[in-house]
Amino acid sequence: MNVKRGVFVFFIVMVLCIPSAFAIQHDGILKFDAGDTGTATGTYGMNPWGHAVLFKNPGTITVTGIQVYGCKFGTGDKKIFVEIWDKDLKQLYKDSIALNRISLGEMDVNAGNCLAMASWADIPLPDHVVTGDFYVVVFTYSPKASSTTQGMPLGYTTTSITGTSHTVKENPNVIDDITIANKYSPAAIDWMIRAYYTKSAPTQASASIPSLTQQNTLTFTATSPSVSASPTAQISAAPSTKSESTKADIGLCLVVISLVISVTLWKKP
């Protein structure tokens, strides 16, 4: 009986440990707007435009993931693309992520209830070193929701304080702002996208290795000038309550598991 009890406790502890052990490592998070409250005005899907947010960054940081707010609909093998551009719209990194692996609320296409089902989801990225201001761009290539389509509308808020959100196109990379939901001007909204970061860059050896999904051939220069926020409206990093550490969390979980199993097996039934 003691062995069975120990195995049961082992699985319970593992369930509790795994989510924290594999959280995105970060020292803080960059907000999409100085007035970021996390409350959405609506959601919007686009094709072929992408959702872009300019983040103000005075130094060098490593982007370890992003957080997005929205919903998804449909089934299949559709992928979205997360890109990082420099302030001049030159692509630095590109990652593809299977839509079915993103933990967002599921929209009922018949009810059209994306906002009601919307939630926040974390998307881990390979360590992307950036120096200076940069854009996070998300291409979801979302068609009109139907029983035969698949997509991911993202949330937006109004009214923008910083004016750092845009709609963009690629090949070549350009800012191509459009009216959102047939009523909001581009300057009025903020896409609900945040960026996780660590302060220290990887070692020189690891920093020189590009992302496996990076496409070096897609390095285009914008045909229109970059748009940046005024100095008084810069987005600053909001430090997290603690720095996530995968190795430390796994080690702690293993210690807890060992102690719990030892105590369980030591006690008489």
- From first to last of the 269 residues of the chain, give the pLDDT tens digit: 454 554 444 444 444 444 444 589 999 999 998 777 778 999 999 999 999 999 999 999 999 999 999 999 999 999 999 999 999 999 999 999 999 999 999 999 999 999 999 999 999 999 999 999 999 999 999 999 999 999 999 999 998 988 999 999 999 999 999 999 999 998 899 999 999 999 965 555 444 334 333 333 232 222 223 333 332 233 333 333 333 334 444 444 554 455 555 545 555 55
| Cα distance between the two ends of the chain | 7
Cα distance between residue 56 and residue 133, in whole Å? 5
Q: Which H helix or E strand runs over 18? A: helix 2-21
Which residue's entry shows tokens 């897609």?
218
What pLDDT, on a 0 to 100 scale, did the predictor assign at position 218?
A: 30
What percent of the residues of the chain are helix, what percent strand, and what percent coil, each to the nearest 5? 20, 35, 45
Q: Are 142 and 151 in contact (CB under 8 A)?
A: yes
What pLDDT, on a 0 to 100 scale, did the predictor assign at position 227?
A: 31
What pLDDT, on a 0 to 100 scale, did the predictor assign at position 20?
A: 41
Q: Are 97 and 123 in contact (CB under 8 A)?
A: yes
Cα distance between residue 49 and residue 176, in whole Å? 8
- Taking the CB of residue 18, how many other CB atoms lie within 10 A of it? 13
Q: Which residues contact 3 (CB under 8 A, 6 or more apart)?
A: 265
Domain residue extents for the chain: 1-23+245-269, 24-243
Quote the pTM value. 0.71
Tokens of 240: 């997290």
Q: Are 34 and 190 in contact (CB under 8 A)?
A: no
Strand duo 60-72 + 105-106: pairing: parallel
